[in-house]
Amino acid sequence: MIAQLTSSERQYSAVILILLLMAGIAMAALGKADALGVQGVIVLLYSGVLLAFVLSSIDKPEPSEDRQANYYDDPIKVGIVLSMVWAVFGMFMGVWVAAQLAWPNLAFDAAWSTFGRMRPAHTTGVIFGFGGNALIATSFHVVQRTSRTRLAGQLSPWFVLMGYNLFCLLAVSGYFIGITQSKEYAEAEWYADLWLVIVWVTYLVLYIRTLARRKEPHIYVANWYFMAFIVVVAMLHIVNNLAVPVSWGHAKSYTIWPGVQDAMVQWWYGHNAVAFFLTAGFLGMMYYYLPKRAGRPIFSYRLSILSFWGITFFYMWAGSHHLHYTALPHWVQNLGMTFSVMLLVPSWASAGNALLTLNGAWHKVRDDATLRFMMVAAVFYGLSTFEGSFLAIRPVNSLSHYTDWTVGHVHAGALGWVALITFGSLYTLVPALWKRERMYSAALVEVHFWLALAGTLIYVFAMWNSGIIQGLMWRTYTEDNALAYSFVDSLLAMYPYYIARAFGGLLFLLGTIVGCYNIWMTVRMAPVTAQDHADLPDRRAAPGIAPSPAE
């Protein structure tokens, strides 16, 4: 890995790591006994380990001159491994949290293992750890292949990947010691947020520079989505995390947004995190790996345009549906609701475009679990967006809000869509990247598929049932117009469903572990001898056609 860098690049990376190391020392010194001090030590250890790694091979021979003749795959490989590691961690946390909801004693009377700390460790672990690493890795792969050019930086891909993982690590370790901003999906505190801004802007610049070097006249759809993901997440992250720290020596900060405006900014962020992190990025994945695996052309280029602009435009306005029946003015809620309903059409257009692309390849879907992962993901994408638009309608939301129905919707999207499309993509990507003929075991991909599907269905059905029962119990009146049930009664009614959910989640986690094993064994397999000559960058000068990003 380091051997691919020139010695001056190695020196640069050592300098960056030393600066980071010093930042860690500064945090530890300023923070002292505050939690910030502990975070500083983590920064210190993280950069120290990486520095040792760089220094250990700083004297290796210079890379062969023709780096540009090859795609830059090392960071992608590391990204895939990190993604799977985070997947196991995050889903294990999910199963544990699910089990705690059924058996609260599983917190074992420790502070770090309480529900309130483990839940964000789960969401950050799966969304940012698993999802984020998978997105970074696949976006690096897709942008190179569809632009026929090598990534536009040697060091910056590593900076993005390792810097991003430092952010995840700071966030998750922070929760365990009690640090949080109390903003869902943006729990990490100010210093971690500042760091992510640097990392993310580097990502954006790298991506744009790579696209600018492309050898294809047009930018492929998948890249539109990855770009939307990178640009909008930068914007969301900065605006929602504007905060003033208590002091340079404290982990705690206070947001600059007051009251209900804070709530609105938070859910503008929260919903667009769903839209641009959990949707747009993964649509980018889908648009590349699904047609690739199916060997079919995209069903309709025009439909791609319609859904891309529909999604980017409508999502922006929909955040207020998370705040129905709250102190948020009624008109803002209504506006969000109508935009959520209109959002359904472009969402379904994407799902439909993916499924119709499979026309002519359905026999492959039947035989190939990898393609089936992606097919089912598209179905769940359609399902969860339909459900989302439905839940956004105020009277429906008055039943579903605060209940497990929301959690069911979340996981129909998160397990059924996000995780399944990722697994399908990784099973396509891993053999290609490591130049193996195929995955180590097709049977294990099949096993993973069924475990994941069963887990998702059990999870989602359990939560639908429990959510609707809860919602109905809370609004059931006796014939004397008094409430019929107490909250505890509804908790009791949820008990069997919580057990079922934990079981479904366990199946899903087992599937992920099977996937890790399969990927590991594939990496260890002998590479195919014949080099795939098609999988190389195009080294001719870029075509003279003026690029038009809208296409």
Partner 1 sequence: MAVEEVDPVSGRVTTGHEWNGIKELDTPVPRGVLIFLIVTHIFAVIWWFVMPTWPLGTTYTKGLLDTNQHKIVEERLVQANAARASWVDAIETASFDEIRADPKLMGIVRSTGHQLFGDNCAACHGRDGKGGHGYPDLTDDDWIWGGDPEMIAETMRIGINSPHPESRASQMPAFGRDQMLDRRQVVDVAAYVHSLSNPSESTSATIGSIEAGKEVFLANCAACHGEDAKGNRDLGAPNLADGYWIYGGDLQAIITTIHSGRQGHMPTWDERLSPAEIKILALYVHSLGVENP
- Binding partner of 543, given partner 1, ligand HEM, none, CB within 5-8 angstroms per partner class: partner 1
Is position 347 an interface residue for partner 1 (rule: CB under 8 A)?
no
Task: Report the distance separating Cα 401 and Cα 417, nearest Å.
Answer: 22
DSSP 263-290: HHHHHHHHHHIIIIIIIIHHHHHHHHHH
Nearer to partner 1 by Cβ, of 187 and 387: the residue is 387
354 binds partner 1 per the rule CB under 8 A: no
Q: Which listed option, partner 1, ligand HEM, none, makes contact with residue 157 (CB within 5 to 8 Å by class)?
A: none
| Residue number with CB closer to partner 1 (62 or 489) | 489
- Other Cβ atoms less than 10 A from the Cβ of 239: the count is 12
Cα-only R_g, the chain: 24
Closest approach, Cβ 171 to ligand HEM, in A, equals 14
438: three-class secondary structure by DSSP: coil
CB of 449 to ligand HEM, least distance (A): 15
Q: Which of residues 237-296 bind ligand HEM (CB under 6 A)?
A: 270, 274, 278-279
Which H or E run includes 245? strand 243-245
Minimum CB distance to partner 1 smaller for 68 or for 486: 486
Whole-number minimum distance, CB 461 to ligand HEM, in Å?
A: 14
Q: Total binding residues for ligand HEM by CB under 6 A?
A: 47
For position 151 contacting ligand HEM by CB under 6 A, the verdict is no
Residue 437's binding partner among partner 1, ligand HEM, none (Cβ under 5 to 8 angstroms by kind) is: none
For residue 192, the tally of other CB atoms under 10 A from its CB is: 23
Question: In 3D, which of 311, 290, 293, 277 has the Cα closest to residue 377?
Answer: 290
Closer CB to partner 1, residue 252 or residue 394?
A: 394
Among 292, 364, 435, 438, binds partner 1 (CB under 8 A): 292
| Residue 488 contacts partner 1 per CB under 8 A | yes
Report how far residue 51's alpha carbon sits from residue 48's, in angstroms, rounded to the nearest whole number.
Answer: 5
Distance of alpha carbon 430 from alpha carbon 442, whole angstroms: 13
Of 349, 361, 211, give the one whose Cα is nearest residue 297: 361
Question: Within a 10 A sphere around the Cβ of 381, how many other Cβ atoms?
Answer: 27
355 within 8 A of 379, measured Cβ to Cβ: yes
Q: State which of residues 119, 141, 214, 372 lies at the interface with ligand HEM (CB under 6 A).
A: 119
**Residue 335: CB partners within 8 Å, gap ≥ 6?**
317, 320
Among 481, 540, 541, 546, binds partner 1 (CB under 8 A): 481
3-class DSSP string for 92-131: HHHHHHHHHHHCHHHHCCCCCCCHHHHHHHHHHHHHHHHH
Residue-wise DSSP of 61-81: PPPPSGGGGS---HHHHHHHH
221 binds, among partner 1, ligand HEM, none (CB under 5 to 8 A by kind): partner 1
Is residue 127 part of the contact set for ligand HEM (CB under 6 A)? yes
Block residue for tokens 């923070």: 31
Q: How far is the CB of 186 from ligand HEM (least distance, A)?
A: 11
Which residues of this chain interact with ligand HEM, rule CB under 6 A?
91, 94-95, 97-98, 101, 119, 122-123, 126-127, 131, 184, 270, 274, 278-279, 318, 321-322, 340, 343-344, 347, 384-385, 388-389, 391-392, 397, 400-401, 406-407, 409-411, 413-415, 417-419, 505, 508-509
Interface residues with partner 1 (CB under 8 A) are: 145-146, 148, 216-218, 220-221, 288, 291-292, 296-304, 306, 325, 329-331, 333-335, 337-339, 341-342, 344-345, 348-349, 352, 359-360, 478, 480-489, 492, 534, 543, 545
